[in-house]
Amino acid sequence: MMRRVAILISGRGSNMTALIEAAAEGFPARIALVISNRSDAAGLAHAKAAGVATLVIESKPFGSDRAGFEAVLQAALDDHQIELICLGGFMRLFTADFVQRWFGRMLNIHPSLLPSFPGLDPHGQALRAGVKISGATVHFVIPETDAGPIVMQGAVAVADDDTPDRLAARVLAIEHKIYPQALRLLASSGVRVEGELCRTTAGASADELISPTII
């Protein structure tokens, strides 16, 4: 059974593109809708070119009225019979009520190995801390920022002469690998949440810096 997925973006949508391309190659999910809270988001054009329906719900007119914005958003999700949500650089915070409604069905990706370096400037945080490995994390969304149960992580080595931009470029390549795999797991019922932890039916691999892996 194909799960209907919406991707929420605010900008270029590079992870959105990775998800759309993976889903087109045979996937237990269909990218049914891309929603942006900005009409100038570059990712909208990429989604349209891939044949995915797009919708703009401008968040600026709502100001601090998050619940008002979410009511319009939820109506659109209902209209398109969306079952799962992936956040791809969506620069809008949600209320606890909205997050709870979608708990276990809404994924986000963050460019660090959570719980290390949540929030802004994760690559700068990593370099200032002197870590030797960094990476990206796909996690379920909860009201706290970058704190939900971890679904999948991928890692890269950190070089002594790295800058935030160079590290970000390598981490982004890992993001594009693990986000589709994490969505595949979720869409195929390969994950379950136990308390604050996510358990999967996939295996860990000693040969890869991505875990869990899908064989």
Residues that are catalytic: 110
**Amino acid (1-letter code) at residue 103:** F
Does 212 sit behind a cis peptide bond, omega within 30 degrees of 0 on the bond before it? Answer: yes
Does 164 sit behind a cis peptide bond, omega within 30 degrees of 0 on the bond before it? Answer: no
What the block records as the tokens of 142 is 């909860």
Q: What phi and psi, each to the nearest 5 degrees, are found at residue 24?
A: -70, -15
Q: What phi and psi, each to the nearest 5 degrees, are found at residue 162?
A: -65, 145
What's the residue count for the chain?
215
CA-CA distance, 212 to 215, in Å (whole number)? 10
CA-CA distance, 213 to 50, in Å (whole number)? 27
Q: Is the dihedral of CA 97, 103, 105, 108 positive or negative?
A: positive
| Secondary structure letter of residue 203 according to DSSP | B
